[in-house]
């Protein structure tokens, strides 16, 4: 491959490959394929279009759709002019979209055609949005996005853009139950791209399958791998079996997916298992991998390299990895329960959350991280940023874990009550806030319980007000009317009173105990 210069902006490598291998395949999506020259031209035209709409350095645009190359194009185009793309979870309910778009301050909103009804319902509340651009899945006639970039003058980018300019805003649940906008810079994203796929570089002829949702850091960070190395990407709109199979048949042989997808493949029968055996690398993370599922996958695909990753949006994605040789190390089978070792440029400390002193090797504490991948901060929330990042640059992850004598990191629990289901982060206070509004609910606690497919799913434990009644389905439906379905409980238990400690705090550990006893509760 052509030697590429060190780059400062996240879009620089795209421009390099457009010059070095202009006719090489860059991106394939729903039957359309663009070369590096064509894809770079689209990004440069998107940058010109944003400038014509008045977007410049320090501004924010937003994207709401299922996976689509246009989202990557807008991210790169905005970055090239010093702006940022705030990518919104397309599965969000209208109120959640309203909050994120307004919080980001987005002036231009790109919306997938099938999600326009959601935007029409809340349009009058999107006070900062000056222009809405509709995007069709397949670039059909009448696609407003395609018309916008076709009519635009290409723009190579603003030379004043700095490495510490924010280029991406990802929304993740926060301590108040409302999502927090995580500001990621060019420096963050480039450092992640270089370090997070250390040890498993692409080879000539490889293709990268991009199926993680782009609203997730695992999608928007992973898609940069192919761009960095000049390797073709095959993007799927959905991570369903048919789409993934189609990508593999199109030559994709390296990917990053949540464990739930792997479970679905193994359950789909011998033909699906055989097809997925074509993958050279299966990187997994973003949710717990049940050990029986991992063992079954390693047995089904003996020639596939498995890589487990652990990370957070606040550090642009991956900070530790369990490499292929660790997966099949018969001398240390216990390491399959670990999250691996730190990636390059990442420091890890295990700290007593009460005393803030480092604990001894092997003892549990809060995982602290220091890395050039660390976010610039939480958008519009300087106090929350100060709580999360120490003065000397350590990020307090909120996860409890330990490090063994070999340097392997084990993630056991979460200080924050985050539930990770199928790769989706669900913050329990957000769900509790909604359920507490039910007229029959006296008090409620939301926990994650183990699930063989999704790693864990949401359960609500409810105490009802005297002389009231509610069924499990009524509680679930109440939540589904107000939140994205993936955040809502799959089951509801009813208690007369919830267990509390002497200070009145609900003892969630006691509520979890009966569900997790005898099972591995490590998160990966």
What pLDDT score does 524 carry? 33
Per-residue pLDDT at 372 exceeds 50:
yes
* Nearby residues of 77 by Cβ (< 8 Å), 6 or more positions away: 11, 43, 44, 46, 47, 49, 50
Percent of the chain past pLDDT 70, that is, above it, reads 94
Quick check: helix, strand or coil at residue 149? helix
Question: Does residue 457 lie within any of the structural domains?
Answer: yes
Per-residue pLDDT at 501 exceeds 70:
no
Task: Kindly state the tokens that stand for 46.
Answer: 């998107």
pLDDT confidence of 175, banded at 50, 70, 90? very low
Distance in angstroms (rounded) separating the CA atoms of residues 404 and 194: 26
Distance in angstroms (rounded) separating the CA atoms of residues 25 and 18: 10
Question: Does residue 460 lie within any of the structural domains?
Answer: yes
327-341 average pLDDT score: 92
Contacts of the segment 139-148: beta carbons below 8 A, 24+ positions apart: 139/32, 145/70, 145/110, 148/46, 148/49
What pLDDT score does 304 carry? 95
pLDDT confidence of 517, banded at 50, 70, 90? confident
Per-residue pLDDT at 75 exceeds 90:
yes
Task: Find out whether 329 and 338 touch, Cβ atoms under 8 Å.
Answer: no
- Residue that finishes a domain, picked among 161, 177, 208: 161
Of 86-90, 185-189, 267-271, 404-408, the one with minimum mean pLDDT is 267-271
Question: Does residue 253 lie within any of the structural domains?
Answer: no
What pLDDT score does 491 carry? 96
pLDDT tens figures, 87-117: 999 988 899 999 999 999 999 999 999 999 9
Of 54-68, 363-377, 393-407, 430-444, the one with minimum mean pLDDT is 430-444
Distance in angstroms (rounded) separating the CA atoms of residues 524 and 286: 6
What is the residue range of 20's domain? 9-161
What pLDDT score does 370 carry? 98
pLDDT tens figures, 182-198: 999 999 999 999 999 88
Quick check: helix, strand or coil at residue 490? coil
Q: What is the 3-state secondary structure (H, E, C) of 15-50?
A: HHHHHHCCCCEEEEECCEEEEHHHHHHHHHHHHHHH
- Strand ordering across the sheet containing 491-494: 441-451, 455-464, 491-494
Which residues does residue 428 pair with via DSSP β-bridges, in sequence order?
none
pLDDT confidence of 172, banded at 50, 70, 90? confident
Per-residue pLDDT at 522 exceeds 60:
no
Distance in angstroms (rounded) separating the CA atoms of residues 249 and 17: 25
What pLDDT score does 422 carry? 87
Q: Provide the whole-model pTM.
A: 0.84
Task: Kindly state the tokens that stand for 172.
Answer: 């993740």
Task: Kindly state the tokens that stand for 57.
Answer: 């350095």
Task: Find out whether 210 and 223 touch, Cβ atoms under 8 Å.
Answer: yes
Number of domains in the chain: 2
417-430 average pLDDT score: 80
Per-residue pLDDT at 289 exceeds 80:
no
pLDDT confidence of 505, banded at 50, 70, 90? low
**41 CB neighbour count, 10 Å cutoff:** 16
443-450 average pLDDT score: 91
What pLDDT score does 2 carry? 54
CATH number, domain with residue 440: 3.30.300.30
For helices 69-80 and 217-229, give the axis angle rounded to 10 degrees: 80
What pLDDT score does 390 carry? 97
Question: Does residue 500 lie within any of the structural domains?
Answer: yes
Question: Does residue 242 lie within any of the structural domains?
Answer: no
pLDDT tens figures, 466-486: 899 999 999 999 999 999 999
What pLDDT score does 264 carry? 83
Arithmetic mean of pLDDT over the chain: 92
What pLDDT score does 513 carry? 86
pLDDT tens figures, 26-61: 999 999 999 999 999 999 999 999 999 999 999 999
Distance in angstroms (rounded) separating the CA atoms of residues 367 and 281: 28
Question: Does residue 69 lie within any of the structural domains?
Answer: yes
Per-residue pLDDT at 417 exceeds 80:
no
- Residue that finishes a domain, picked among 107, 126, 161: 161
pLDDT tens figures, 199-257: 887 899 999 999 999 999 999 999 999 999 999 999 999 988 899 999 999 999 999 99
For helices 241-249 and 259-267, give the axis angle rounded to 10 degrees: 90
pLDDT confidence of 523, banded at 50, 70, 90? very low
pLDDT tens figures, 145-157: 999 999 999 999 9
**457 CB neighbour count, 10 Å cutoff:** 19
Per-residue pLDDT at 520 exceeds 80:
no
- Residue that finishes a domain, picked among 140, 161, 182: 161
CATH number, domain with residue 39: 3.40.50.12780
What pLDDT score does 1 carry? 46
* Nearby residues of 43 by Cβ (< 8 Å), 6 or more positions away: 11, 14, 73, 76, 77, 80
Distance in angstroms (rounded) separating the CA atoms of residues 322 and 293: 16
Question: Does residue 463 lie within any of the structural domains?
Answer: yes
Task: Find out whether 94 and 120 touch, Cβ atoms under 8 Å.
Answer: no
Question: Does residue 200 lie within any of the structural domains?
Answer: no
Percent of the chain past pLDDT 90, that is, above it, reads 75
């Amino acid at each position: 491959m052509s030697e590429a210069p060190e780059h400062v902006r996240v879009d620089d490598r795209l421009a390099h490959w457009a010059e070095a291998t202009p006719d090489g395949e860059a991106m394939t999506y729903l039957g359309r394929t663009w070369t590096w020259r064509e894809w770079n031209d689209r990004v440069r035209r998107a940058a010109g279009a944003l400038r014509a709409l008045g977007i410049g350095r320090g501004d924010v645009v937003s994207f709401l759709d299922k996976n689509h190359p246009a989202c990557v194009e807008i991210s790169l185009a905005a970055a090239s002019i010093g702006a940022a793309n705030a990518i919104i979870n397309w599965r969000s309910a209208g109120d959640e979209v309203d909050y994120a778009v307004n919080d980001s301050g987005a002036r231009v909103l790109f919306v997938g055609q099938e999600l326009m009804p959601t935007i029409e319902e809340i349009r009058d509340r999107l006070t900062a949005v000056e222009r809405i651009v509709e995007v069709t899945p397949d670039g059909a006639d009448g696609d407003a996005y395609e018309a916008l970039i076709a009519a635009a003058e290409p723009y190579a980018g603003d030379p004043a853009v700095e490495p510490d300019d924010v280029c991406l805003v990802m929304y993740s649940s926060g301590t108040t139950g409302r999502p927090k906008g995580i500001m990621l810079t060019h420096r963050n994203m480039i450092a992640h791209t270089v370090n997070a796929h250390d040890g498993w570089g692409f080879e000539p002829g490889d293709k990268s399958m991009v199926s993680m949702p782009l609203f997730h850091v695992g999608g928007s960070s992973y898609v940069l791998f192919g761009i960095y190395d000049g390797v073709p990407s095959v993007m799927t709109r959905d991570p369903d079996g048919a789409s993934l199979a189609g990508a593999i048949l199109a030559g994709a042989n390296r990917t990053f997916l949540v464990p739930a997808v792997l479970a679905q493949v193994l359950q789909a029968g011998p033909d699906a298992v055989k097809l997925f055996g074509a993958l050279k690398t299966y990187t997994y993370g973003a949710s717990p991998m049940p050990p029986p599922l991992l063992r079954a996958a390693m047995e089904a695909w003996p020639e596939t390299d498995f890589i487990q990753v652990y990370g957070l949006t606040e550090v642009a994605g991956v900070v530790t990895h369990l490499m292929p040789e660790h997966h099949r190390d018969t001398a240390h089978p216990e390491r399959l329960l670990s999250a691996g070792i730190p990636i390059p440029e990442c420091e890890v400390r295990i700290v007593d959350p009460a005393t803030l002193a480092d604990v001894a090797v092997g003892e549990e504490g809060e995982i602290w991280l220091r890395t050039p991948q660390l976010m610039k901060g939480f958008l519009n929330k300087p106090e929350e940023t100060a709580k999360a990042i120490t003065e000397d640059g350590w990020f307090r992850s909120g996860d409890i874990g330990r490090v063994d004598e070999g340097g392997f990191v084990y993630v056991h629990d979460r200080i924050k009550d985050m539930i990770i289901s199928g790769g989706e982060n669900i913050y329990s206070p957000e769900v509790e806030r909604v359920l507490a509004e039910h007229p029959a609910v006296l008090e409620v606690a939301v926990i994650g319980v183990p699930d063989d497919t999704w790693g864990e799913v949401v359960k609500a434990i409810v105490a009802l007000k005297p002389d009231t009644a509610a069924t499990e389905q009524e509680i679930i439906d109440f939540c589904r009317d107000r939140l994205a379905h993936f955040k809502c409980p799959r089951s509801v238990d009813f208690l007369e009173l919830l267990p509390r400690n002497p200070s009145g705090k609900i003892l969630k550990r006691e509520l979890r105990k009966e569900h997790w006893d005898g099972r591995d509760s490590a998160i990966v």
